[in-house]
Amino acid sequence: MARVCLDYGHGGQDAGAVYKGRNEKDDNLKLGKKVAEILRQNGIVVDETRTGDNTVSLQERSNFERKNNYDYFISFHRNASVPEKAKGVETFVYSLTNVRAKALADKVQANLVALGFVDRKVKSANYHVLRETKAQAILIEVGFIDNTEDNNLFDTKFNDIAKAIAKAILNQLGIEYKEQMQEQSTTSSQVLYRVMAGSFSSRENAEKQVKKLNKLGIDATIMVFDK
């Protein structure tokens, strides 16, 4: 089963870039969690370096990632420069010669540019979370938080942005994207009956149950429900 680690930049006491009362840490968390939701609905195991407004150091992020074996590590950020001067999306890898990371970065970049962001290209950078992680790693700068046009794109096309990133990840993993159930229900009158085989407070136990069912030839995946 494919497994990815999502990293939502900044958090807690570290607000990241700030513009007109808007904090980068909040945009990173909101977008990343939406991408995580879509990936899980498509059968991907997703771990997150933070799930709330927590302060997490760069070392803690890379240490978290290195505890498990992930196919990919994706870090979410928003850019900043001179207010209202720069705009667009850019995606970073540690080395442009890293074929798998570069391939994912290219897919993410192309999908986001297709939504209207200016193309600032895929680039290399010596960032800690790209250099010190084991998995194939990319860092996405989803528009400039100090650019009104980029913020409008981020807000009005939020769901499309999350879907574009998720689709790129799924495509790179060789997994076909499936629309979310609530989206399917608006276009089809077909009634679907879901069968549950246990509820677990521990993701590890849930993953063990999925493996047992798969060995029996039963198609199973993990669905996350908040109480």
- The answer to whether position 32 is within a domain reads yes
- The answer to whether position 132 is within a domain reads yes
- The answer to whether position 161 is within a domain reads yes
* pLDDT for residue 169 is more than 80: yes
Q: 78 near 145, Cβ under 8 Å?
A: yes
pLDDT band at 211 (very low <50, low <70, confident <90, very high): confident
- The answer to whether position 202 is within a domain reads no
pLDDT attached to residue 192: 57
Convert the pLDDT of each residue in 7-40 to its tens digit. Answer: 999 999 999 999 999 999 999 999 999 999 999 9
- The answer to whether position 142 is within a domain reads yes
- The answer to whether position 186 is within a domain reads no
* pLDDT for residue 187 is more than 90: no
Report yes or no on whether pTM surpasses 0.85.
no
Convert the pLDDT of each residue in 198-208 to its tens digit. Answer: 777 778 887 88
pLDDT attached to residue 217: 67
- The answer to whether position 198 is within a domain reads no
pLDDT attached to residue 204: 81
Convert the pLDDT of each residue in 54-111 to its tens digit. Answer: 999 999 999 999 999 999 999 999 999 999 999 999 999 999 999 999 999 999 999 9
Percentage of the chain lying above the pLDDT 70 cut: 89
* pLDDT for residue 216 is more than 90: no
Q: How many domains does the chain have?
A: 1
* Owning domain of residue 33: 3-173
* pLDDT for residue 188 is more than 80: no
- The answer to whether position 82 is within a domain reads yes
Q: What is the average pLDDT value for the chain, to the nearest integer?
A: 91
Cα 209 to Cα 8, 199, 222: the distances in Å are: 29, 10, 9
The CATH number covering residue 44 comes to 3.40.630.40
pLDDT band at 212 (very low <50, low <70, confident <90, very high): confident
Both tokens assigned to 217 = 């030839």
